[in-house]
Structure 1
Amino acid sequence: MTATQPRTSSTDTTGLTEMSWDPITRIVGSLGIYTKIDFSQGRVAECHSTSSIFRGYSIFMKGKDPRDAHFITSRICGICGDNHATCSVYNQNMAFRVRPPHLGEWIINLGEAAEYMFDHNIFQENLVGVDYCEKMISETNPGVLELANRTESPHGADHGYRTIGDIMRALNPFTGEFYREALQVSRYTREMFCLMEGRHVHPSTLYPGGVGTHATIQLFTDYYTRLMRYVEFMKKVVPMHDDLWDFMYEALPGYEEVGRRRVLLGCWGSLNDPEHCDFDYENMTSWGRRMFVSPGVVVDGTLVTNDLVEINLGIRILLGHSFYRDWEDQETFVTHDPLGNPVDRRHPWNQHTIPAPQKRDFDEKYSWTMSPRWFDGQDFLPLDTGGGPLARLWATALGGLVDCGFVKATGDSVEIHLPRTVLKPEAHFVWRPPTDKQGSPLSNAIERNRARTYFQAYSAAVALHFIEQALAEVRGGHTRTWEKFTVPDEAVSCGFTEAVRGVLSHHMVIRGGRIANYHPYPPTPWNGSVRDTHGTPGPYEDAVQNTPIFEENPRERFKGIDIMRAVRSFDPCLPCGVHMYLGEGRELHTTHTPGGLNLL
């Protein structure tokens, strides 16, 4: 087993060694990381992030029936397609002025919670966990493995692994006990999603106005039994990962700098409360704050806003060093939002996607990923999602708005309560915004991974609340799951939620009953963005630049494990950042001849 090998290696006159990893492994192969490394100082000096395929959904959405938006945008990704479908349905609900029955919304919440559990589990344990397994550590930091084998696990009684080395061996791909267990967990969490929305990853029962799921006591019981298995699993996972992440800090002093960047976090909120959410833009500030994952922008550890209207109006799409032509000479679709607030020319409602392919040049244009930024009135902030969970937990904790019995946001922490299960007593976990030894807010590779574990427990806890609410609806005879609607001739709408790996928004303009403009913005364009118009690097680039090198291998056998940990901590998923568009195309005519089949 080896870490991703660099594709190129050369040393320039400054003494910096150029190394690239393209494609990054364990994800769809469209992400490239190009670096210059100062081996004499043990530090990455420069980084560029690239996406190698053009994104085109915003182009071929034009002219489509708005009712088809969620079916089409679900195909943006084969991993988090249901997140796109859900966000698109929220967008449609706003455009169509429809409010689903409460039961329909609880079912959607149960599906999305199951998706968080499924996707975070398979990535954390079967993809990013490999970066910390015994096989990997033995090839990159054998001294660390020796120490791990001698170090007792502080919470061994909770997870069953006596030493940190035992945890690392359990993470070995295909042979590790925990690795295999996590694969089984991924199976039944996907079943949980399918119970609610019919099919994973492209839901077959999700529509604007609600869902087509036939809601019965049996349906929710089948979900409930699997959920309690997952609850029991998380009572093992949280203490196990805490032991592993804490050990990495102890074994490698200074490791908190790997993947570290300034705390600039964005969360758009998720899991609506049907008691408050009516999908009206005019009320979005209010119902956005009642989500079970709170929206928020966190800058240097401070919550700047949790107002979805303000978040929406602050979004800017900068082209920077990406392969696109500006749209200054194109039509402006929206000048003011439904509340009368001015809408910027670079807002997604007004964006035009005009590809301009050219040779990659890191001094000029070098990627198909644009540069989404959030404008705070003074600066264009390169927000990242912390891989999703770090931003979600941070914004929710500081917001102090969530309290449903199983989870509570206190203003400086998130409390997670998991009830008694068959083999384990009740458990209580507390996540607090991380800080370094000097007390400064900390966003780095380890804390992104740690937050992912805690958010798995959070998802299970809120799902317990959702299942109780859904059962109460059915027992009360409120079994409708869908509300009829009409498609307007003209509309301006948006949907906000959290895809597994971070912020997700869909913006739509309807004219003449058809889609005139549509722009989905998932987490990858935010996390993987290129240097913007002002020269500010994107989050991947920023997190890798200045990352120290702790790998023990010499330059000749360097694998780049610390760089890979920094990038993979964001849970990169490039299908959401790149797509192909063939223009007008070319028609193929099929003719049958005596000699066989000809394509003309």
Structure 2
Amino acid sequence: MPEPASKLVEMSWDPITRIVGSLGVHTKIDFAERRVAECHSTSSIFRGYSVFMKGKDPRDAHFITSRICGICGDNHATCAVYAQNMAFGVRPPALAEWIINLGEAAEYMFDHNLYQDNLVGVDYCERMVKETNPSVLAKAERTEAPNARIHGFRTIADIMRSLNPFSGSFYREALQMSRLTREMFCLMEGRHVHPSTLYPGGVGTVATVQLFTDYLVRLMKYVDFMKRVVPFHDDLFDFFYDALPGYEEVGRRRVLLGCWGSFNDPDACDYTYKNMSRWGRKMYVTPGVVVDGELVTTDLVEINLGLRILLGSSFYDDWQDGETFVKHDPLGNPIHQMHPWNQTTTPRPQRRDFAGKYTWVMSPRWLDGRTGEHLAIDTGGGPLARLWTTALAGLVNFGGVRSTGKSVKIALPRSASLPAVEFEWKIPRWSNTLERNRARSYFQAYAAAAALHFVERGLAEVHAGRTDTWTDFKVPDEAIGCGFHEAVRGVLSHHMVIRDGKIANYHPYPPTPWNASPRDSCGTPGPYEDAVQGTPLFEENGPEDFKGIDIMRTVRSFDPCMPCGVHMYLGGGKEIQVRHAPAFGAQSVLGMGG
């Protein structure tokens, strides 16, 4: 008798919790093989900044696009400022760049800390492991933590208990640290997450010795926290590899990583497109694309030219025959019609169909010029790609940070209470769930070390009397600009076209469209889909009480933030009319006019 065909069970998590936004993951699971057979990623909200940015004053781009997200709004504002600086032909004073870098470093520290230990950490806490893998918890109780002397938790089970929400000691401590890092951001940029002192041409922050000292006092507390955080998470994640042989396959996908670089060096960055290849490589986080472990480029011009927005399974009309806003870049290179500079956003709402169109997220891809393949690159949650490209490039050597070609070394100085330490993030064997999470801890230490360097450079400017923080500019009648940056969770670019002094076209591409993209017009699944599809299931529960913990760990390892994926649109000619009812408390009547 032939073997019976596997029976697939359809299971959906929509919305997925402990993220921002409306992400849904829809799967077919083979419980006989303990494996996810199929996965589709969806988002049900359309917002449309690319639609209503048209006609706006280009000077307002950073204020408006900051509102794309209530989590990484400052990353959007910063990236928009980079695009504005290029379009306006303005170079901020060095002090302004150090202040922006300090703000962004604080944002990385804040967001990664909060997400890692108060959101992702719950997936590995005692309560969760007890519900999904009681045998693993039993082993954790018997397993001594290798770095107990450093972080203070004797066993792996003690680490897991410390991550229990609201009651765990490490969980509560992380909340306190996130407050400090938010204060650090506000010192530099006025308000979190929508900065009030960030402008094209520089910043409005009043730079004083006291400003940098207030930042530094908080930073050193965070530095000491990091000295415990990195070994804490190393112990936890290494234990899962040991306790569950084969767990490296959870969330594993082909190594296709992208990083657009972060922290501009004012000594190198003049914001001109013609010099972008050079000053991009001088960033304190190196831009690049890694394909199957090989660093194929560190050139921001090449990265820009390779951008393609494919539609496939998303709810939009094509714009292949639409208006071409930019035919050539400032270096004379041809710009493709499916590039963000030429994108036209035309929403087409319809019923969700997993055999056709099923989400509002588009499918950004990067065209590999060597092979002609449209690559569904991911960000590794942000830190994995940033560390991987920086390590391979070997271009970074500043303060306490050095890239070696195969690793990144991060030195944190001695404090009044703890000795100096050096961490080394080594390129892992896999791009998988645990390594995305591990990289998040190491990049917190990276951001802290970078911030120490930026404080030193900023103070040097103040002591030298170079206290200007803004450069005047004029808005041109016609121009193009692009900004490349790293949002907390990965690649971020803003592309702007100015005509007649107004914004004619504007497209922001944050990490979420890259990571949460659906199957594109070539049939290639997006990174969430690809990472979940084929993932083995180690959860001990059966179909009746299945939690999907390995699936949830995989999705959350990317640090999803769905507001950035899709945008708002009202359509043409409709407005809400409020008709005031008579007095005496009668209710108002809402009607739709058109």
| TM-score category of the 2 structures, normalised to the smaller one | over 0.9
Pairing 1:561-600 to 2, within 5 Å after superposition: 561-584=549-572, 585-591=574-580, 593-594=582-583, 598-599=588-589
Query: Which range moves more in the overlay, 20-29 or 237-246?
Result: 20-29
Question: Does residue 559 of the first structure (1) align with residue 551 of the second (2)?
Answer: no
Partners of 2:581 and 2:349 in 1: how far apart?
Answer: 38
Please report how far the alpha carbon of residue 401 of structure 1 lies from its aligned counterpart in structure 2 after TM superposition.
0.7
Equivalent residue letter for 1:291: M
Which amino acid is the alignment partner of residue 322 of structure 1? Answer: S
Residue 253 of structure 2 aligns to a residue in which SS?
coil
In structure 2, what is the equivalent of residue 5 of structure 1? none
- Residue in 2 that maps onto 1:191: 183
Aligned equivalent of 1:389: 383
Equivalent positions of 1:59-98 (< 5 A) are: 59-98=51-90
2:422 to 406, 423, 428: 428
Aligned mate of 1:464, from 429, 448, 452 = 452
Name the structure 2 match of 1:42: 34
TM norm structure 2: 0.97
- 1:150-172 per-residue CA deviation (whole Å, 9 max, x = no partner) reads 00000110100000000000000
- Report the Cα offset of residue 593 of structure 1: 3.8
Give 2:15's match in structure 1, choosing from 23, 35, 51.
23
Contact 2:144/2:155, CA 8 A, preserved across alignment: yes
**Which of residues 422, 430, 436 is equivalent to 1:448?**
436
Q: Offset of 1:30 from its aligned partner?
A: 0.6
Q: Name the SS of the counterpart of 2:424 in structure 1.
A: strand
Letter in 2 for 1:498: E
2:463 corresponds to which residue? Answer: 475
Q: TM-score of the superposition, structure 1-length normalised?
A: 0.96
RMSD: 1.1
* Residue identity matched to 2:495: H
Judge conservation of contact 1:590–1:597 (CA < 8 Å) in 2: no
- Give the distance between the partners of 1:587 and 1:366, measured in 2 at CA: 29
How far apart are the structure 1 equivalents of 2:42 and 2:480?
32
Amino acid at match of 2:12: S
SS in 2 for 1:588: strand
Tell me how far apart the structure 2 counterparts of residues 482 and 144 of structure 1 sit (CA, whole Å): 56
- 1:544 maps to 532
> In the superposition, relative to structure 1, how do residues 427 and 333 fare at CA in structure 2: closer, same or farther (>3 Å)?
same
Q: Secondary structure at the match of 1:225?
A: helix
Q: Which residue of 1 aligns with 2:407?
A: 413
Alignment match of 1:494 (pick from 478, 482, 486): 482
Local SS of the residue matching 1:105: helix
- The one-letter code sitting in structure 1 at the alignment partner of 2:247 is Y
Q: Which runs of no fewer than 5 residues in structure 2 stay unpaired?
A: none
Q: Distance in 1 between matches of 2:407 and 2:486?
A: 20
Aligned to 1:272: 264
The superposition leaves residues 280-306 of structure 1 with CA deviations (integer Å, 9 ceiling, x where unpaired) of 000000000000000000011110000
Encode CA deviations 1:395-416: one digit per residue, 9 max, x unaligned.
0001111111210111111000
User: C-alpha distance in 2, partners of 1:594/1:420?
Assistant: 70
Partner of 2:193: 201
2:93: which partner in 1?
Answer: 101
Partner of 1:439: none
Report how far residue 28 of structure 1 moved: 2.5
Residue 258 (str. 1) matches residue 246 (str. 2): no
DSSP 3-state at the match of 1:127:
helix
What corresponds to 2:508 in structure 1?
Answer: 520
Is the partner of 2:559 in helix, strand or coil?
Answer: coil
- Structure 1 residues 474 and 153: CA distance shift in structure 2, 3 A: same
Match of 1:7 in 2: none
Letter in 2 for 1:123: Y
Q: CA contact under 8 A between 1:490 and 1:510: conserved in structure 2? A: yes
In structure 1, runs of 5+ residues without a counterpart are 1-11, 436-441
Give the 3-state SS of the residue equivalent to 1:324 in structure 2: coil
1:55 corresponding residue in structure 2: 47
Q: CA–CA distance in 1 between the matches of 2:213 and 2:541?
A: 52
Question: Do the aligned residues in 1 keep the contact of 2:288 with 2:389 (CA within 8 Å)?
Answer: yes
Give the one of 325, 342, 355 matched to 1:363. 355
1:432 Cα deviation from its structure 2 partner: 1.1
> Contact (CA 8 Å) 1:55, 1:368: kept in 2 or not?
no
Output the CA distance in 2 between the equivalents of 1:411 and 1:60: 44
Q: Secondary structure at the match of 1:144?
A: helix
State the distance in 1 between where 2:504 and 2:137 align.
57
Residue of structure 2 in register with 1:4 after alignment: none
Letter in 1 for 2:200: P
What is the deviation of 1:14? 4.9
State whether residues 114 and 174 of structure 2, in contact with CA within 8 Å, keep that contact through their aligned partners in structure 1: yes
Residue 329 of structure 1 and its aligned partner are, at CA, apart by: 2.4
Aligned residue pair count: 583
What is the rounded CA distance, in whole Å, between the counterparts of 1:91 and 1:29 in structure 2? 27
Deviations 1:246-283 (A, max 9, x none): 00000000000000000000000010000000000000
After TM superposition, what 4+ stretches of structure 1 lie above 2 angstroms from structure 2? Answer: 589-600
Where 2:541 maps in the other structure, the secondary structure is coil
